C-alpha cells in the first residue's frame, strides 16, 4: 500500500467547503482526506494508489432525524413500505404470518394512512387473515398503529376503555376500538404489550439499516428515538467494530415522567458515548401531527376536526417543558424537540430562550425537528437563539398526506406548510433528515422535492408554494454540512484536507440537467472513514 494515499477518488468533486468549490480528485490516507485538487495535482502529491472513478463525488450524507434502528426492525419483519394498496398490505402480512408459524406476535409497519381514507385501517381486515395471533403494525409516520382483535383482547381493550390524555382510539359506533390506535395509544401498546426486542434484536436491526443507508451514500445519522436497549445495541456494535456510521443517539424523554429522569439520562450519556456513538442528545416530543389533528396548534382544527380534537395534543406543557430544557441545557445536553404545530414550535423556542436566559450562550446546537406549520413570526427567532431547523423536505409537496389529511384539518393555515425557503432566508442553520421509516431515506428524492416542491414524477403537477423552494446547493449543504453541524460532527460534512474521509460517489452530476432528474441520481460507492462500505 502506498504510504501517502490508500485511495484516490476521481470525478466532479463538490466539496461543500465554505466557498462551495469544485475539484477533480480526492486522496485518502488512514481514514482522512489528505489531498483535494486537480487529478494531476493530487497524483503528484500522493503518488499512485487504487483509484475509484465517479461522475460526481459529494461528502457522505448525514441524516439528522431518522429512526434507523426502528426502520431496520420493520425490514426484518412485516415491511409494508412501498406498497400502496390494502390488498397488497394484506397479502404481505399473510405471507409473513404463513412463513413464520412460530412467531407469537406478527409485528412490523409501513402502512400509509391515505391508502385507507376515512377512519384508517380496521381490525377485521387483519382478523380475516390472522385470527389467532396478535398483530401490531405501525404506520409510516409511527404516530398510529393497526392491530387485530386478538391484540385488543390480549391487551384487555374494550368499548369501556377510556382514551388516554396523549392519544385516542378510533371507535366503531358502539364504542369498540376499530383497531386504529392514534398517538399515545399506539406508543403505549407498543411499549407495554408487544414483547420487547432484546439488545441482540436491536443490533441486527441496526446492521440492516446501516447496510441500506450506506447504499444510499449516508455515513452518519441522528437516531431520533433511543431507549436504553437500543443505546446498548449501538455501543455493542461499536465495541465489536461493526459500526461504520457515526451515530448521534437522541435519548428519549419520557413525557409521563418529570425531571427525576434527568439523572438516568446523564448516566446513559456517560456509558453510551464513545467511538462513533455520541449519546449527548435528548429528544423531547412536543406534539403529534396535523394529519391526525394531534399536532399542537394555537387555534382549533377546522370544522368537526376542531370539535373532536380542539387544538390537538401538547404532550409536554409549556411550564414543564421550560423546566426540562433549562436543566438539560445546563448539563450540556443538546435538545432535539419534535414540533409540528405552531403552538408546539413556539413552546420549543420559548424553552430554549429561557435556557439561554438562565444559562447563557453555549454550543449545544439545539434543534427543532419537522417545523410543519410554524407561525411565520416565530421563524426569525431561531437564528438569534442558535436553534437549528431540522427539516424533512420529502413532505414539502402536494402529496396525498398533505392534500387529503392535512389541508382539510388546518384550512388556510396550509399556506404556510414547510417554509424551508423562509428558514434559509432567516439565516438559521438548516439540517435535513428523512424521518425514515416515515418516508424514503433516499437523499436525492428528498432534495428534488426541496427544490421543486412537487411530487416526484409529476413535473407539470401542482407546486406546494413555489416561494419556499430552495436550490440544490442549499439542500445538499443541509444534508452534509448542516446535518454534520447538528450532529456535532465538525470532522464531517465537507471534502476538505484533514477531515474524515466520508464520501458518496455518484453515477451522474445532480447539478447537470433538469431539477426533475435529481432523484434519478444513484450512489455507486460509499466511503466511510476511508473504507469502502458500499460498492466497488
Size of the site for Zn ion (CB under 5 A): 2
Nearer to Zn ion (CB atom), residue 231 or residue 501? 231
With cell 370539535, the residue in question is 307
Q: For residues 469 and 458, what is the distance between their CA atoms, to the nearest angstrom?
A: 16
Closest CB to Zn ion among residues 151, 226: 226
Can you tell me whether residue 435 is helix, strand or coil?
coil
Q: How far is the CB of 390 from Zn ion (least distance, A)?
A: 10
What is the nearest approach in angstroms of Zn ion to the Cβ of residue 467? 26
Q: How far is the CB of 37 from Zn ion (least distance, A)?
A: 40
**Residue with Cβ nearer Zn ion (278 or 372):** 372
How many Å is the maximal CA-CA distance in the chain?
79
C-alpha cell at 301: 382544527
In the complex with Zn ion, which residue's Cβ is closer, 291 or 435? 435
Minimum distance, C-beta of residue 395 to Zn ion, in the bound complex (Å)? 11
d(CA 161, CA 312): 21
Residue closer to Zn ion (CB basis): 70 or 146: 70
Q: Give bridge partners of residue 37 from the DSSP assignment.
A: 25
Calpha distance 210→350 (Å, rounded): 36
SS3 per residue for 417-430: CCCHHHHHHHCCCE
Asked if 238 contacts 212 with a C-beta cutoff of 8 angstroms, the reply is no
Nearest CB to Zn ion, comparing residues 42 and 224: 224
One symbol per residue from 197 to 236: x for binding Zn ion (CB under 5 A), - otherwise; what is it?
---------------------------x------------
Using CB under 5 A, which residues numbered 395 to 454 contact Zn ion?
A: 435
Note the helical H segments in 62-178: 68-76, 86-99, 113-116, 123-127, 149-155
Minimum distance, C-beta of residue 289 to Zn ion, in the bound complex (Å): 10
Instruction: Tell me the per-residue interface mask from 460 to 479 with Zn ion, x by CB under 5 A, - otherwise.
Output: --------------------
- Among 313, 317, 276, smallest CA distance to 294 is for 313
Per-residue x/- marks for Zn ion, 165-184, CB under 5 A? --------------------
**E strands, 134-244, in order:** 135-139, 144-147, 167-171, 177-183, 218-226
Instruction: Give min distance, CB of 420 to Zn ion, in A.
Output: 17
CB 11 within 8 A of CB 505: yes
Residue 338 vs 343, nearer CB to Zn ion: 338
The secondary structure element, H or E, covering residue 505 is: strand 503-506
- If the CB atoms of residues 17 and 141 are measured against Zn ion, the closer one turns out to be 141
Alpha-carbon distance 296 to 315, whole Å? 8
81 versus 435: smaller Cβ distance to Zn ion: 435
Distance CA 343, CA 291 (A): 16
- For the beta carbon of residue 241, count every other beta carbon within 10 angstroms: 9
Q: How far is the CB of 335 from Zn ion (least distance, A)?
A: 15
Closest distance between Zn ion and the C-beta of residue 413, in Å? 22
CB of 241 to Zn ion, least distance (A): 28
Please give the grid coordinates belonging to residue 505.
460517489
What is the contact surface with Zn ion in residues (CB under 5 A)?
Answer: 224, 435
Amino acid at each position: 500500500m502506498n504510504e501517502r494515499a490508500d485511495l484516490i477518488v476521481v470525478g466532479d468533486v463538490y466539496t461543500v467547503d465554505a466557498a462551495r468549490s469544485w475539484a477533480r480528485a480526492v486522496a485518502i490516507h488512514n481514514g482522512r482526506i489528505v489531498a483535494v485538487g486537480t487529478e494531476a495535482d493530487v497524483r503528484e502529491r500522493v503518488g499512485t494508489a487504487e483509484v475509484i472513478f465517479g461522475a460526481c463525488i459529494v461528502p457522505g450524507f448525514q441524516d439528522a432525524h431518522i429512526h434507523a434502528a426502528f426502520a431496520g426492525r420493520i425490514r426484518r419483519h412485516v415491511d409494508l413500505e412501498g406498497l400502496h394498496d390494502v390488498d397488497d398490505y394484506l397479502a404481505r402480512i399473510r405471507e409473513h404470518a404463513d412463513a413464520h408459524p412460530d412467531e407469537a406476535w406478527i409485528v412490523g409497519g409501513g402502512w400509509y394512512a391515505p391508502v385507507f381514507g376515512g377512519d384508517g385501517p380496521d381490525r377485521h381486515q387483519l382478523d380475516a387473515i390472522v385470527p389467532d395471533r396478535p398483530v401490531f403494525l405501525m404506520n409510516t409516520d409511527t404516530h398510529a398503529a393497526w392491530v387485530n382483535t386478538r391484540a385488543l383482547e390480549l391487551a384487555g381493550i374494550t368499548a369501556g376503555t377510556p382514551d388516554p390524555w396523549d392519544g385516542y382510539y378510533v371507535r366503531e359506533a358502539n364504542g369498540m376500538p376499530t383497531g386504529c390506535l392514534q398517538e399515545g395509544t399506539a406508543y403505549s401498546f407498543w411499549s407495554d404489550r408487544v414483547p420487547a426486542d432484546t439488545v441482540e434484536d436491536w443490533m441486527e436491526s441496526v446492521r440492516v439499516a446501516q447496510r441500506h443507508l450506506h447504499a444510499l451514500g449516508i455515513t452518519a445519522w441522528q437516531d431520533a428515538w433511543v431507549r436504553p436497549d437500543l443505546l446498548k445495541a449501538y455501543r455493542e456494535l461499536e465495541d465489536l467494530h461493526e459500526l461504520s456510521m457515526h451515530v448521534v443517539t437522541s435519548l428519549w424523554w419520557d413525557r409521563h415522567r418529570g425531571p427525576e429522569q434527568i439523572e438516568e439520562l446523564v448516566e446513559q450519556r456517560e456509558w453510551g458515548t464513545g467511538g462513533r456513538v455520541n449519546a449527548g442528545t435528548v429528544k423531547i416530543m412536543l406534539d403529534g401531527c396535523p394529519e391526525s389533528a394531534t399536532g399542537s396548534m394555537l387555534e382549533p382544527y377546522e370544522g368537526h376536526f376542531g370539535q373532536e380534537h380542539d387544538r390537538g395534543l401538547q404532550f409536554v406543557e409549556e411550564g414543564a417543558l421550560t423546566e426540562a430544557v433549562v436543566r438539560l441545557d445546563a448539563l450540556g445536553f443538546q435538545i432535539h424537540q419534535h414540533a409540528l404545530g405552531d403552538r408546539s414550535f413556539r413552546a420549543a423556542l420559548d424553552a430554549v430562550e429561557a435556557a439561554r436566559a438562565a444559562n447563557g450562550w453555549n454550543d449545544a446546537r439545539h434543534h427543532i425537528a419537522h417545523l410543519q406549520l410554524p407561525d411565520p413570526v416565530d421563524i426569525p427567532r431561531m437564528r438569534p437563539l442558535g436553534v437549528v431547523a431540522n427539516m424533512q423536505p420529502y413532505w414539502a409537496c402536494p402529496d396525498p398526506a398533505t392534500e387529503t389529511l392535512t389541508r382539510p384539518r388546518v384550512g388556510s393555515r396550509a399556506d404556510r406548510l414547510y417554509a424551508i425557503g423562509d428558514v434559509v432566508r432567516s439565516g438559521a442553520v438548516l439540517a435535513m433528515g428523512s424521518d425514515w421509516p416515515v418516508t424514503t431515506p433516499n437523499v436525492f428524492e428528498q432534495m428534488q422535492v426541496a427544490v421543486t416542491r412537487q411530487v416526484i414524477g409529476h413535473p407539470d403537477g401542482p407546486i406546494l408554494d413555489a416561494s419556499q423552494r430552495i436550490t440544490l446547493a442549499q439542500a445538499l449543504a443541509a444534508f452534509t454540512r448542516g446535518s454534520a453541524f447538528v450532529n456535532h460532527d465538525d470532522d464531517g460534512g465537507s471534502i476538505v484536507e484533514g477531515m474524515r474521509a466520508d464520501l458518496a460517489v455518484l453515477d451522474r452530476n445532480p447539478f447537470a440537467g433538469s431539477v426533475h432528474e435529481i432523484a434519478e441520481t444513484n450512489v455507486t460507492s460509499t466511503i466511510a472513514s476511508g473504507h469502502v462500505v458500499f460498492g466497488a
